[in-house]
Amino acid sequence: MTSFNLGSIPIEKITVGMSASYSQTITDADIKSYAGLSGDHNPVHVNAEYAAESRFGKRIAHGLMSAGFFSAIFGTKIPGPGCVYVSQNLNFLRPVYIDDTVVAEVVVTQVDIEKKRVFFETTCKVKNKKVITGNAEIYIP
Residue pLDDT, tens place only, 57-90: 999 999 999 999 999 999 999 999 999 999 999 9
pLDDT digits (tens, 9 = 90+) for 6-21: 457 899 999 999 999 9
Domains for the chain: give ranges and CATH numbers.
11-139 (3.10.129.10)
pLDDT digits (tens, 9 = 90+) for 25-45: 999 999 999 999 999 999 999
Contact (CB, 8 A) for 122 and 137? no
Return d(Cα 84, Cα 74) in angstroms, integer: 8
The answer to whether the pTM exceeds 0.85 is yes
Return d(Cα 141, Cα 60) in angstroms, integer: 36
Return d(Cα 43, Cα 128) in angstroms, integer: 27
Beta strand segments in the chain, E: 19-25, 84-92, 101-112, 117-126, 129-139
Mean pLDDT estimate for the chain: 94
